[in-house]
Structure 1
Amino acid sequence: MKRATNVRGIEAAAAKRGPRLQPVPGPAPRPALFTAEVHKVREDGVMLGIGAKVVPAKLDPSVHPTVVEGACARHERVLVEEQEGGGLLVIGALRTQPTPGVDAAESYTIKAKRISLDAGEELSLSAQTAAVVLRAIGEVETYAERILSRAEGVHKIVGRMLRLN
């Protein structure tokens, strides 16, 4: 008899606490956020390698196509979000290579139609014992053991005063 009373007491205490929590739904078949390899960049999006499949995806407007092209060339992975409608959206690239100006590396190659370096006070280029310094006061300094200047046509040196040695 004591046992039946205890069971009723437990049921009564549970009823006072309110409804039981609902069970947690099972995991989605694939996470909403995952990585993939870029196989090809197209005008309307990209082709991604996910497991053994190659599937199309769109680029998020915040992701510059050049970033994804670089990831494709370097075999870096991109961050992909699965949309509610079932489509895929590339939302970023996972940088696995050094970035010029941020990380030190063995070498960098910068290809561009035009490169502009803008320094407020001084810009210097140096390689071991040779250097070129441009200063905001209108001064250009070159330093090296040997300085060579060549011209196919006219080689013109203009100045109010030239001082040699």
Structure 2
Amino acid sequence: MRTSDQSKRAKGHLAGWVGGVAFDSTRLTLLADAYSDDFVIQARWTDGGERELTFYIPERGSERKVYTFAAAQGAGAYYEITGERSMEWEGGTVTREKTEFSAPDPNQWRAMIGFNFEVSIDDQTVWIKGEGELIGASPWNRDMRERFQTRKG
């Protein structure tokens, strides 16, 4: 799920818990495109190996909106243990707390999210909870367009 365009890193943080293990990541990417309403947040950290969280949010509204797994609203959350496996959310919520994509400079674009979702790891349910705030965006790259094209519009 890695992006190939890492020229621009978002500033901010994404922190929380995977199961009972805390994480805090400042290795962040906010991917957005001037021609669509969706965006992607990625966070990476090391905890016994590379870990990655990816969130796909299908709309940029500035008001708070909760996306639930059961409602199939087009949002997505993914947890990856690099080199081992990638898990898609199976329940819970991702909340778009606030966004600001109106500045002409993408380096000023901002997104705030909260998350509380579950994945299955080795037949066990693991809850991933936390929040994040990012400033600065990279454009969508080809890999991300292909990955999420079925979820757009």
Quick check: TM above 0.5?
Answer: no
**Which of the two has greater helix per residue?**
1
The higher relative CO (CA closer than 8 Å, separation ≥ 6) is in 2
TM-score (norm 2): 0.23
TM-score (norm 1): 0.22
**Which of the two has greater strand per residue?**
2
